[in-house]
Amino acid sequence: MTTKHRVAVAYGDGIGPEIMEATLRILQAAEVPLVYDVIEIGEAVYRKGTLSGIPRDAWETIRANRVLLKGPITTPQGGGYKSINVTIRKSMGLFANVRECKSYTPYVPSAYPGINMVIIRENEEDLYAGIEYRQTQEVTQALKIVTRPGAENIIRYAFEYAEAYGRSKVTCMTKDNIMKLSDGLFHKIFDEVATEYPGIRSEHQIIDIGAARVAAMPERLDVIVTLNLYGDILSDIAAQVSGSVGLAGSANIGEDAAMFEAVHGSAPDIAGRGVANPSGLLNGAIQMLVHLGLGSYAETVRNAWLCTLEDGIHTADIYRVGLSEKQATTEAFTDAVIERLGQKPDLLAPASYQNHPIDVTRRTYPTQRKELVGVDVFLDWDEANRDPNVLGKRLEALSVAGLPFATLSNRGVGVYPGGMPETLCTDHWRSRFLSDNGAIHFSQVLELVARLNDAGLDVIKTEHLYNFDGEPGYSLGQGE
Ligand code: NAD
């Protein structure tokens, strides 16, 4: 007898209950060996005063089952409510977001009939770490966090995915021509990991031209791996050009837990009317079956769904006069999929999911020699018409032994010595003090900061400058 996996199920808000009911009805009709533990998360829980939207007993079920099938959630505006998606992704270490984007022409119109790409997005880091500050009257700041283990995990996952699903190319997209350290690390690790997968082609594209290609020639792309923010934007572009915002599923995968959902939200505008398309959540559930090693069930369900599209039974969002046969309610669409279980599509490529395990084990890497060689002291300074020469000369005079003043920059542009009068200077300054003779001691940094403070300068933060195996771990200001 097949062992039944237990999965946690959250119906969600808005159209969530309608599309979850449809999805579970199809899985049950396909006799998928699953047991469902229903949890309550989302709007009702927020309203009861739990700011995370997830009560303790729901967490216990999620943690016990390790797999969650989730309907879309409405995050109430304001009031300190936290996004459930972000909370679950981060708390459960779901580092990989996987969105498959396909076109289903001629049944669902798309300008690009050949789209078959997967966007694998880093899910926990980058600007989405949500670490932000306001330090002066004029300046706010968000930290972009890119870590070696984070980048390595997602990049390795992308190659593992490509191998498991018989895909031939992985394209990495970054902006490392500008962010040489953070995006540069991601690109560097991509090049390293790519050598371990010689059977898969690898390439790198700068994100701006990469995004243009996703929009204009998506059929040339296969697997894309990228950082959190770029991936968020790219996956919506990709879903849009494939003509199928309501059709795509989304998987969030961690080392020992996973969450599956639709790409779209809770669609409050059509909630309760029985017209929502359940396909996005169904496709998320199909990704879940593959993840659980139930590939043959995934194939059966997906093929029945493809047959339904081919037979022109379409919900309102994809219904087109002349292309569709019948405009179906959520319930009628669900019945049509169930009727087609066991059939294979004629024109659309039938699904084939072999049960390849994807290795998501975290790797270790060698430690590098780290040396403190300087400090950036950030100042809030709004005197002398913000003339960089005035501040620069003061800072030169305040250097401590072995830690001389090097440069002054404003918004990342070098302004002293040798700046240009046209550069706009805000009240937020970065003064760099760099060793002239190898490693320094932290006490020199403390002495310097005390001296600047005693001189009446408003020190708002410091950033240490380290070399790693002799390589600078800090960027230069533009023009430096
Ligand atoms: P949305 O995706 O809910 O809706 C956008 C448009 O697409 C609407 O016109 C909607 O009717 C339509 N649509 C979406 N899904 C559909 C479906 N299955 N069938 C037919 N039409 C569908 O995006 P939104 O309106 O920006 O967000 C609504 C709420 O959903 C917000 O509270 C937002 O925070 C939340 N949201 C949740 C998730 C999630 O839980 N993963 C994702 C995105 C948005």
Given pLDDT bands bounded at 50, 70 and 90, which one contains residue 47?
Answer: confident
CA of 264 to the centre of ligand 1 (A): 5
Question: Binning pLDDT at 50, 70 and 90, where does residue 85 land?
Answer: confident
> What is the residue type of 227?
L
Which residues on adjacent β-strands are paired with residue 68? 8, 259
pLDDT band at 86 (very low <50, low <70, confident <90, very high): confident
- Between 362 and 146, the higher pLDDT residue: 146
Nearest-5° Cα angle at 274, 271 to 279: 90
How far is ligand 1, taken at its centre, from the CA of residue 244, in Å? Answer: 13
Q: What does the pLDDT read at residue 131?
A: 87
Give pLDDT, residue 4: 85
Q: Mind listing the pLDDT tens digit for each residue in 211-269?
A: 999 999 999 999 999 999 999 999 889 988 887 678 989 999 998 899 999 989 999 99
CA–CA dist 281, 277 (Å, integer): 9
Where is pLDDT greater, at 50 or 306? 306
pLDDT at 362 over 80: no
CA gap 460, 457 in Å, rounded: 9
pTM, full prediction: 0.89
250 Cα nearest atom in ligand 1: 41
- Domain 370-472 carries which CATH code? 3.30.70.1570
Q: How far is the CA of 265 from the centre of ligand 1 (A)?
A: 3
Mean pLDDT, rounded, of the chain: 93
| Residue boundaries of the structural domains of the chain | 5-339, 370-472
Q: How far is the CA of 246 from the centre of ligand 1 (A)?
A: 9
Q: Hey, whose CA ends up nearest to atom 4 of ligand 1? A: 267
Q: Give the pLDDT confidence of 375-427 residue by residue, as tens digits.
A: 999 999 999 999 999 999 999 999 999 999 999 999 999 999 998 989 999 99
Which ligand 1 atom sits nearest the alpha carbon of residue 279? 18
- Cα 267 to ligand 1 centroid, rounded to whole Å: 4
Buried b / exposed e over 125-145, threshold 16 CB at 10 Å, is: bbbbbeeeeebbeebeeeebb
Instruction: Give the closest residue to 277 by CA, choosing from 262, 289, 290.
Output: 262
d(CA 281, CA 261): 5
Q: Evaluate if residue 456 carries a pLDDT over 90.
A: yes
Task: Using alpha carbons, select from 122, 127, 117, 70 the residue that is nearest to residue 96.
Answer: 122
Q: Are strands 458-468 and 370-380 parallel, antiparallel or unpaired?
A: antiparallel
At 195, phi and psi to the nearest 5?
A: -65, -20
Q: Give me the mean pLDDT over the 82-111 stretch.
A: 89
- What is the C-alpha separation between 311 and 107, in angstroms, rounded? 9
For residue 1, pLDDT over 60 is answered with no
* Ligand 1 atom at shortest distance from the alpha carbon of 317: 20
- Residues in Cβ contact with 74 at an 8 Å cutoff, skipping those fewer than 6 apart: 13, 14, 42, 43, 265, 266, 268
Per residue in 258-310, pLDDT tens? 999 998 999 999 999 999 999 999 999 999 999 998 999 999 999 999 999 99
Q: Show the ligand 1 pocket: residues with CB < 6 angstroms.
A: 15, 19, 72-75, 85, 246, 261, 264-270, 276-277, 280, 317
d(CA 165, CA 161): 6
Per DSSP, what are the bridge partners of residue 261? 250
Do the beta carbons of residue 17 and residue 11 sit within 8 Å?
A: yes
Tens of pLDDT along 160-184? 999 888 899 999 999 999 999 999 9
CA of 309 to the centre of ligand 1 (A): 21
Report CA(334)–ligand 1 centroid distance (Å).
20
Residue given tokens 């990049």 in the structure block: 155
How confident is residue 355, by pLDDT bands cut at 50, 70 and 90? low
What is the band of 356 on the pLDDT scale with cuts at 50, 70, 90? low
427 in Cβ contact with 387 (< 8 Å): no
- Stretch 340-367: mean pLDDT, rounded? 83
Question: Residue 244's pLDDT is what?
Answer: 65
Q: Which of 13, 83, 264, 314 to mutate to test the pocket of ligand 1 (most atoms within 8 A of CB)?
A: 264
The per-residue pLDDT for 239 is: 85
**pLDDT computed for residue 2 by the predictor:** 63
Q: How far apart are CA 328 and CA 105, in angstroms?
A: 19
**Section 206-214 average pLDDT:** 97
Quick check: 52 pLDDT over 90? no
Q: How confident is the model at residue 480 (pLDDT cuts 50, 70, 90)?
A: low
Specify the CATH number of the domain 5-339: 3.40.718.10
